[in-house]
Each structure stands twice: as structure tokens, then as C-alpha cells.
């Protein structure tokens, strides 16, 4: 519900704040007083195009802010959360327009885009008037309005349509993949055969590289250790065999020369140490796994793996997965027709499920259309449109236009004269008739609207007497379930209001100002009397105004 509208330096308004009430709120005043300025300022906060002409002459910028009470669970709260904005009970929207045409927008003091304001405004406020080409007059929204009127849940139809779309896309993708594989069949066969012969394994490159490095190290050490072994075993140059031979001779000599025993002992120790060293060297030689044939085979395997990886532009470790993938593609190509047939059956089953649900939804819409037509027709006679005929058209769309909302096109049509063909609301009705059709339709749909504030801009123009009274009665009825703001010149409508404001324009020196005043009971009677009689308010007009107000109360 709109609770407050604050305007600064917009057209003729220097500074103005209006506190609004629940129910039917009536705005009255003489023609040209500036009622449209209030609606333009409110529209500015709801995302209407910013126009430099709105800025009051002589100032750098103008602004308008609107405060709303937003009930829990309202769609506007979800939009705020989705947009990363604060979700509060009070929503304050502010728009600043500069004299050069630039503008800025804020929601709860956080900067936002004008596009977000439009989305937010559409959830908070509905504006209806003779020239309104959105909302009820836009056929694109008629299907949603009918579904809300009948409380039809389209979620299952939307799910089945999504399943059908996914099944259709899966078949299309499979057909495209099959066609591509068929074009590449020769290459696919060659690649699979190559990879099958190669038999790459995950992690094989690392294992082969480590083995190759170990064998190259063994090759290098084996040569050096062979020289060491040769030196230890070389008799001619004093190797261990020569030491052992010397020890045997010294042992014979030590029996004759006891002083040689210490020398023999030292020589035996040297022989023992050399023998241990020889054993250690041989042990290392035995651990070296160098084999020329094995090294050559390892290097050849690495070369083949890395060459295949470069050919297919993948890592060596991915060759095994690639082999499985290409083999699966070849198998799918072989079994392609059977696979396509299964996908086609799944698509057809999904379509049949959607068609069944869409047909049931269409039947429900047809029944709801009849109920809506009767509800609207019941409102037309009191509005002096008893000769008119309202009809909700529900037509089946061609399959190419089916969607998540079903298979129907819905449009509200009217015929204003007996025997005349029905046509779109905006094309058939005159201005006065159109406003009354909008009101009748809105009354019928009142409980289903998302917006908590409805605005009717001079919807009673061109009518009076009983018709104006009927319009006032229906606006008051709407005011029981939503806040309704109506700009009116009709005393019968004004008398129905729960609260009333008078808009006046005054000239001071060389300046013109528009002001808004909330009216108490006495001032309301005087204003309605003015609406009845004009500038010169007569006692008869006051008495009639009193009767209008008493009749409402």
C-alpha cells in the first residue's frame, strides 16, 4: 500500500508530502490544478521515463519518493532479495531527475536501475485509465489474468514442457553427433585401431620415464664399477690377488723371522678390508638393472606414447580415456539407429504427456473463461453497458508456439452493440466505454491482482448520474480488498471515498504553485458541493453533497 508521496521541485510543485490512507482515496480539484503532476511524480518513482521537462523551472533537479507498506510474502519482497537489496516492511523508492535529463534511482537508499524500478512498480501499483495500453488492455497478459482468476496452477504443464524440450534437444544432439561421426568414420576406425594396438595405460608415461632414468644411471655407473673391480682383481698391478700371494710368502718367512709377524698381521687386515670392499662393489653392480635391449624398448614405448598424444592433442595420461571415448563413439555409431529410436520414443512420450496436460489446462481455461465472462457481464449493466457483450477467447496455438504456459492464446474481447463482431478492447470501445469496461473487468479480477495499490485516472470522464454512482460503488468495492487511488471530477465517485484530497493551483506574484490538502468532513462536503455546482457553491449544492455523503455512510 502507498503510504506517502513526497515531491520536490517537480513542474509546479516546490515541496509537497501527501500521506495516503487505506481503502478508496479520492483526488479532486479543478481542471488544470495539477492532478496529473502527482501521477507523473508517482510514475517517476515507479520507473517511468525521466524527462527534463518535469524539473521545476529555475532549479537544478527535482525528486519524488514513494513509501510503501509491503506485506510478508509479497512478490516485491522476493524481487528485492533476488536483486541483493534489503527486504523491509517499509519500501522507499526515490527518483532524482536533473535539469539536463539525467536521473538516479534509489530503493531504501541503495542505488538501482530504472529497469528494476519498472519491475518493482509493476508489482506494487496498477494504473488504469482511458489511454492505458498496458495491463488489462495488453493481450499478452490476458492468459495470466485468466489463470489467476481461475486459480489454475500451470507448474506441471511448465515442467512437462521443459521435459519435452530436453528430450527433443537430446535427440537433436544425438542426431548431430551421429552425423558427425558418420562423416569421420574412416578416421574414427583408424584412431581406435591405433589406440587399441598401443594400449596406453594411465600413469604409464611416468613409470616408463622413471625406469628409463634408472637404466641410464645404471649404464653410467656400470662402466666405472667395472674399472674398480678390474683394479681390485688385477694381479699385475697389485690387486687383491697380488696381496694374497704376498701374504702366503710372508707367512713362510715369518717362521724364520718372528719380527715379520706384525707385518703379516697388517697384510691380512688389508686383504680382509679389500675383500669386503670387493664384495660391496659386486653387491652394487648386482642392483643395477641396466639392459640395453630393455632400455631401447622403454625409449621406443615412450616415443610411441608421446607421439600419439601429440597427434590427438592430449596429455599422455589422457590417452587411455581417449581410447575409451573413441571406442564408445564407434560403438554408438554402430548402434546409432537403435539409440536414435530410443531417444525419439522418449521425445514422443514427453510430447504426449505435455499435450495431455495442456489439453486439461485448456479445458479448465475454457470453463474459467465462461465464469469470467459472466462475472464481467454482471458488472456491465449497472455501468450502462447492458447492450455490450464481453467474451474471453481461448484459442489453441499452433505447436510451434506452445510453451511453458500451455497451448492456448487468451484475449479479452468486446462487442458494444448487438449483432456487432467482437474485437480487442482497445480497438472497439470508445474512451468512456473503455474506462467502464476496464473497471468491470478489474472488479471481476479484483481478488487475483498482485498489486496492492490501484490507480484510476479520470476513469469516470464523460459519464454522470447513475453511471457515475455505479462507478463509485465499484471503486469502493475494490477499496475493500486493495488501496484504490482515483482522480475524479464526479461528485458521486468522490462521495464514495474513504479519504479525500483537494488539489489546487495558486498564482503568487509571477509564480504558480500546486498544493494538496487532506479534507475533513466539512471540507469534503464543501468540495463535493463545488463539484456539483461549480465555483459558486449554493445551499442546494451543499444539501445535495450532504445527501451523497450520507448515502454512502
Q: Across the chain, what does the average pLDDT equal?
A: 84
Residue 29 confidence (pLDDT): 85
Q: Which has the closest alpha carbon to 406: 138, 144, 139, 151?
A: 144
Residue 229 confidence (pLDDT): 67
Q: Which residue has the higher pLDDT, 451 or 149?
A: 149
Compute the average pLDDT of residues 415-425. Answer: 80
Evaluate whether 64 touches 95 at the Cβ level (below 8 Å). Answer: yes
Give SS3 for 68.
strand
Does residue 544 have a pLDDT over 80?
yes
Does residue 131 have a pLDDT over 60?
no
pLDDT band at 289 (very low <50, low <70, confident <90, very high): low
> For the chain, which residues make up each domain, given as ranges?
194-333
Does residue 464 have a pLDDT over 90?
no
- Report the C-alpha gap between 138 and 132 in whole angstroms: 9
Residue 428 confidence (pLDDT): 66
Residue 509 confidence (pLDDT): 65
Residue 429 confidence (pLDDT): 61
Express each pLDDT in 330-351 by its tens digit. Answer: 777 777 767 788 899 999 999 9
Average the pLDDT over each of 172-176, 508-512, 538-542 and give the range with the smallest value: 508-512
How much of the chain exceeds pLDDT 90, in percent? 27
Does residue 551 have a pLDDT over 80?
no
Express each pLDDT in 38-67 by its tens digit. Answer: 888 998 999 888 888 888 888 999 999 999
Does residue 264 have a pLDDT over 80?
no
Q: Which residue has the higher pLDDT, 186 or 181?
A: 186
- Report the C-alpha gap between 276 and 296 in whole angstroms: 35
Does residue 325 have a pLDDT over 50?
yes
Express each pLDDT in 358-388 by its tens digit. Answer: 999 999 999 999 999 999 999 888 888 888 8
Evaluate whether 61 touches 99 at the Cβ level (below 8 Å). Answer: yes
Express each pLDDT in 73-126 by its tens digit. Answer: 888 888 888 888 887 888 999 999 998 888 999 999 899 988 898 888 888 888
Average the pLDDT over each of 95-109, 434-448, 470-484 and give the range with the smallest value: 434-448
Does residue 522 have a pLDDT over 60?
yes
Average the pLDDT over each of 17-26, 205-214, 274-283 and give the range with the smallest value: 274-283
Q: Which has the closest alpha carbon to 502: 15, 34, 13?
A: 34
Q: Using the Cα atoms of residue 199, residue 200, residue 205 and residue 210 in order, give the sign of their dihedral.
A: negative
Evaluate whether 94 touches 105 at the Cβ level (below 8 Å). Answer: yes
Q: Which residues contact 489 (CB under 8 A, 6 or more apart)?
A: 28, 31, 458, 460, 461, 531
- Report the C-alpha gap between 136 and 299 in whole angstroms: 80
Residue 132 confidence (pLDDT): 54
In three-state form (DSSP H/G/I as H, E/B as E, the rest C), the secondary structure along 307-322 is HHHHHHCCCHHHHHHH
Residue 138 confidence (pLDDT): 77
Residue 175 confidence (pLDDT): 86
Compute the average pLDDT of residues 182-202. Answer: 85
Does residue 130 have a pLDDT over 70?
no
Give the angle 120-123-126 at the CA atoms, nearest 5°.
115
What's the whole-model pTM score?
Answer: 0.62
- Report the C-alpha gap between 48 and 463 in whole angstroms: 29
Express each pLDDT in 16-43 by its tens digit. Answer: 899 999 999 999 888 776 778 888 899 8
Residue 133 confidence (pLDDT): 46
Q: Which residue has the higher pLDDT, 525 or 336?
A: 525
Amino acid at each position: 500500500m502507498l503510504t506517502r508521496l513526497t515531491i520536490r521541485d517537480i513542474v509546479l510543485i516546490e515541496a509537497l508530502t501527501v500521506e495516503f490512507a487505506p481503502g478508496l482515496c479520492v483526488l479532486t480539484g479543478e481542471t488544470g490544478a495539477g492532478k496529473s503532476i502527482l501521477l507523473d511524480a508517482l510514475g517517476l518513482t515507479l520507473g517511468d521515463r525521466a524527462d527534463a521537462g518535469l524539473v521545476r523551472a529555475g532549479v537544478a533537479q527535482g525528486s519524488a519518493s514513494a513509501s510503501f507498506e509491503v506485506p510478508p510474502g509479497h512478490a516485491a519482497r522476493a524481487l528485492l532479495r533476488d536483486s541483493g537489496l534489503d527486504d523491509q516492511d517499509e519500501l522507499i523508492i526515490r527518483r532524482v531527475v536533473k535539469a539536463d535529463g539525467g536521473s538516479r534511482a534509489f530503493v531504501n537508499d541503495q542505488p538501482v536501475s530504472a529497469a528494476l524500478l519498472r519491475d518493482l512498480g509493476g508489482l506494487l501499483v496498477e494504473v488504469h485509465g482511458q489511454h492505458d495500453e498496458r495491463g488489462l488492455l495488453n493481450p499478452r497478459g490476458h492468459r495470466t489474468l485468466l489463470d489467476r482468476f481461475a486459480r489454475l496452477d500451470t507448474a506441471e504443464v511448465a515442467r512437462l514442457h521443459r521435459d519435452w524440450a530436453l528430450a527433443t534437444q537430446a535427440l537433436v544432439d544425438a542426431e548431430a553427433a551421429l552425423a558427425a561421426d558418420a562423416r569421420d568414420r574412416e578416421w574414427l576406425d583408424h584412431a581406435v585401431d591405433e589406440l587399441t594396438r598401443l594400449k596406453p595405460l594411465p600413469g604409464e608415461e611416468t613409470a616408463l620415464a622413471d625406469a628409463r632414468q634408472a637404466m641410464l644411471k645404471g649404464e653410467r655407473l656400470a662402466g666405472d664399477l667395472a674399472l674398480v673391480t678390474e683394479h681390485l682383481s688385477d694381479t699385475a698391478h697389485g690387486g687383491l690377488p697380488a696381496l694374497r700371494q704376498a701374504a702366503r710368502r710372508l707367512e713362510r718367512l715369518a717362521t724364520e723371522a718372528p719380527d715379520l709377524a706384525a707385518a703379516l698381521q697388517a697384510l691380512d687386515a688389508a686383504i680382509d678390508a679389500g675383500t669386503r670392499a670387493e664384495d660391496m662393489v659386486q653387491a652394487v653392480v648386482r642392483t643395477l638393472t641396466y639392459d640395453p635391449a630393455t632400455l631401447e624398448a622403454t625409449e621406443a614405448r615412450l616415443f610411441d606414447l608421446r607421439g600419439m598424444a601429440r597427434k590427438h592433442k592430449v596429455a599422455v595420461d589422457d590417452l587411455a580415456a581417449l581410447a575409451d571415448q573413441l571406442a564408445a563413439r564407434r560403438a554408438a555409431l554402430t548402434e546409432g539407429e537403435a539409440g536414435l529410436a530410443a531417444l525419439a520414443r522418449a521425445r514422443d512420450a514427453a510430447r504426449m504427456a505435455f499435450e495431455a496436460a495442456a489439453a486439461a489446462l485448456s479445458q479448465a481455461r475454457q470453463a474459467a473463461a465462461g465464469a469470467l465472462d459472466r462475472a464481467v457481464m454482471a458488472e456491465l449493466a449497472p455501468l450502462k453497458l447492458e447492450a455490450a457483450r464481453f467474451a474471453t477467447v481461448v484459442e489453441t496455438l499452433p505447436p510451434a508456439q506452445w510453451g511453458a504456459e500451455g497451448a492456448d492464446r487468451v484475449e479479452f474481447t468486446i462487442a458494444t452493440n448487438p449483432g456487432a463482431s467482437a474485437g480487442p478492447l482497445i480497438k472497439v470501445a470508445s474512451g468512456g466505454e473503455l474506462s467502464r469496461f476496464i473497471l468491470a473487468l478489474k472488479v471481476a479480477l479484483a481478488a487475483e491482482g498482485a498489486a496492492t495499490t490501484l490507480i484510476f485516472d479520470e476513469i469516470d470522464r464523460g459519464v454522470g448520474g447513475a453511471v457515475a454512482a455505479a462507478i463509485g460503488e465499484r471503486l469502493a468495492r475494490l477499496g475493500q480488498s486493495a488501496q484504490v487511488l482515483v482522480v475524479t471530477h464526479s461528485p458521486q465517485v468522490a462521495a464514495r471515498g474513504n479519504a479525500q484530497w483537494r488539489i489546487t493551483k495558486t498564482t503568487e506574484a509571477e509564480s504558480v504553485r500546486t498544493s494538496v490538502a487532506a479534507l475533513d468532513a466539512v471540507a469534503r462536503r464543501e468540495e463535493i458541493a463545488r463539484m456539483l455546482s461549480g465555483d459558486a457553491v449554493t445551499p442546494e449544492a451543499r444539501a445535495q453533497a450532504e445527501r451523497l455523503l450520507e448515502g454512502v455512510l
